[in-house]
Structure 1
Amino acid sequence: MRPTLQTVADAVGVSRSTVSNAYSRPDQLSADLRDRILTAAAGLGYAGPDPTARSLRRRRAGAIGVLFTAKLSYAFTDPYAVQFLRGLASSAEQGRTGLLLLPLSMDDEEAAVAPVNDAVVDGFCVYCLPDWHPALAALEARGLPVVAGQKRPGSQASFVGIDEAAATRAAGEHLVALGHRRLAVVGEYFTVAQSTGPVTIKSPGDVAYYTDRERLRGYQEALAEGGVPWSSVATVNVARNGRAEGAAAAAYLLDRAPRPTAIAALSDILALGVLDAVRARGLRPGHDVSVVGFDDIPDATTEGLTTVHQPAAERGRRSGLLLLDPPTDPADRSVVLPTTLVVRATSGPAPS
């Protein structure tokens, strides 16, 4: 039979709690006694207390579940995700807690919900989930603490994020002030379908994803104030947040007549792809076509990309702190961090 804590206790002639202390609280035992217990355990083939059972007894799993709708490699390759996770990890380390990365399917409902239902965690950090994703209902059913970067009606989740609309409103006002009247916007979750191509968005309110909806609303407000009707703005959806997808989306816009004089991408990764497409056609960013991104990842500086800076690492750090040590006052469970428009070489006056 498989050896247990009691098997080791009987072999050494001590109590179960003493054997348990040899693994979890070694400072409570003399070095000699602990060595005798570990030696006996090794001889019996006992590997130590079951971590799942131990977490149930303590009512603490020692891990935060991080949810995002992408492959696991995305967490290590997307510059914004890397910064966010670095900030989250710093809080987790401080709280002696680990991170469990949970990529969720967008195609299979059962596979989309299973990671949430099966995760042995103390709470969840929602990195990126569109409003229609079935995992959101599973989160509510688990009843564990949740911190999200998106606001949803009726949700009890804490919030750590930015004023998305105010951020893009500043970018839109910048483009309008430069004389741009033919604009386009590129983003990932404009529709439920994961495909790259033009889409018709009669109003930002029709977009069922909080982040994109708010960023579009900011642009709409800035353009309306400048006398540019929303109906004149071209919008292109991408299948995923990737540089190649940004270039493919820009192709729809740049190969039409008249082409837009400015393209706003809702992430820097997409904006870098737009720049690739602009240059591939012999056009000059900031002269023939202005390009604006969002996030201010390191490559944005290298490329001279005009973008909205948001504190990615701080956003992750504050998310972890709020999850591990939630304030008693619900009013303190919403944190709005500042953003800044960073003007660089890729935006300039509209060509005459």
Structure 2
Amino acid sequence: MPRSRQPRRQATLASLAAELNISRTTVSNAYNRPDQLSAELRDRVLQAAKRRGYPGPDPVARSLRTRKAGAVGLLLTEALSYSFRDPAAMSFLSGLAESCESAGQGLLLIPAGPGRDDADAAAVVQQAGVDGFVVYSVADDDPYLAAVCERHLPVVICDQPREIPGASLVGIDDRAAMRALTDYLIGLGHRDFGVLSMRLGRDRSDGIADAERLRSPNFHVQRERIGGVRDAMSDAGLNPETLTVVERFEHTGRSGHAAAAQALGANPNITALVCTTDVLALGAVDWARWQGIDVPGQLSITGFDGVGEALREGITTVRQPQEDKGRRAGALLMSPSHSGVATVEMLYTELSRGSTAGPAPR
């Protein structure tokens, strides 16, 4: 009689349990709770499963049963590609991924790029199969953030926004760090300042930020860093209203290049450009070199973040622990003790005196 060409049916948890004359719970424990079985019994189950082509318990069914997805959702304020292009975001992502890996959790990236509406945000966030969210530096009016809060899952915020009910926070004192940097520049004799800033709101705006724009930015980090410059100026007897702030919607070196030109065009007396990120500072330094302006002889330029490229270029900057932020955010979210009680962790910063800041020209 010819042999049947029909493929052998793949084993299931139930059929494997019947073949071995054990309970289905015992088969499941061999995969999910190996400490509940003797080494000999577990080996017998796994060998039989391998022989029969049984892949193990269905992860989808398990997640429905346990109500655990086994993944952390990372909400980003930018397009997905940004997290793999921006050096500070890459460092944060690396630290968070390390934390997830240590806990045996997956990581789902949820890009909350500008220009999305509330319906898009709600759909994306509601479909995310995660056990909690890490929110990385989004605007306080971002629709994705509102959708995250409606999920009623554990949430850890990194940097911004602040004071979200029930959410924990990992961040730094941006205002104090920028004030210390500006105090350093004032000590070098600088009196005329310009600030190159990342965007202050979700709407597109490129240019000089007027008083009204500065009063109502939706990004806490930029607001506080600009505030730190103004605080230092006030305490030194300088008029903070003379501060020239140039905003850029796109966060690139090219943006820093163009913003530096606009700032000096608006106020040629500026002797120090204070950038709210290293990326903008690198662009500003490139512009100064292109113009034949000596840095720091004629113009001092500072950054913020302490990314690798800026440190290699000798940018005077504020170093912050981006990778450690990611680790701490992940560890805090996945901590067994995390039960919705908000925790705040403020990490250290350090002024790095590079070669791009010097005495003010006479």
Please, what TM-score do these two structures have when normalized by structure 2? 0.86
Match of 2:149 in 1: 140
Aligned-residue sequence identity (percent) comes to 40
| Equivalent residue in structure 2 for 1:118, among 108, 127, 144 | 127
Gaps of 5+ in 2: 1-8
Structural mapping, 1:333-348, within 5 Å: 333-348=343-358
Match of 1:298 in 2: 308
The Cα shift of 1:204 comes to 4.7
Matched, 1:166 2:179: no
| CA–CA distance in structure 2, aligned partners of residues 264 and 94 of structure 1 | 38
| Equivalent residue in structure 2 for 1:36, among 36, 48, 52 | 48
Distance 1:133-1:28 versus aligned 2 partners, 3 A rule? farther
Matched, 1:312 2:322: yes
Please, what TM-score do these two structures have when normalized by structure 1? 0.89
**What SS is found at the alignment partner of 1:193?**
coil
Structure 1 vs Structure 2 CA RMSD: 2.7
| CA–CA distance in structure 2, aligned partners of residues 123 and 151 of structure 1 | 17
The Cα shift of 1:205 comes to 4.2
Work out whether residues 254 and 278 of structure 1, in 8 Å CA contact, stay in contact via their aligned partners in 2: no
Match of 2:110 in 1: 102
Q: 2:102 is aligned with what amino acid?
A: Q
Work out whether residues 278 and 310 of structure 2, in 8 Å CA contact, stay in contact via their aligned partners in 1: yes
Work out whether residues 296 and 309 of structure 1, in 8 Å CA contact, stay in contact via their aligned partners in 2: yes
| CA–CA distance in structure 1, aligned partners of residues 233 and 14 of structure 2 | 72
Distance 1:320-1:304 versus aligned 2 partners, 3 A rule? same
Q: 1:36 is aligned with what amino acid?
A: A
**What SS is found at the alignment partner of 1:283?**
coil
Match of 2:3 in 1: none
| Equivalent residue in structure 1 for 2:298, among 280, 288, 291 | 288
| CA–CA distance in structure 1, aligned partners of residues 339 and 67 of structure 2 | 23
Match of 1:196 in 2: 206
| CA–CA distance in structure 1, aligned partners of residues 89 and 338 of structure 2 | 29
| CA–CA distance in structure 2, aligned partners of residues 86 and 271 of structure 1 | 23
Work out whether residues 114 and 202 of structure 2, in 8 Å CA contact, stay in contact via their aligned partners in 1: no
**What SS is found at the alignment partner of 2:80?**
coil
| CA–CA distance in structure 1, aligned partners of residues 218 and 333 of structure 2 | 26
Structural mapping, 1:256-271, within 5 Å: 256-271=266-281
Aligned length: 348
Matched, 1:65 2:77: no
Distance 1:32-1:346 versus aligned 2 partners, 3 A rule? same
Work out whether residues 130 and 189 of structure 1, in 8 Å CA contact, stay in contact via their aligned partners in 2: no
| CA–CA distance in structure 1, aligned partners of residues 161 and 101 of structure 2 | 27
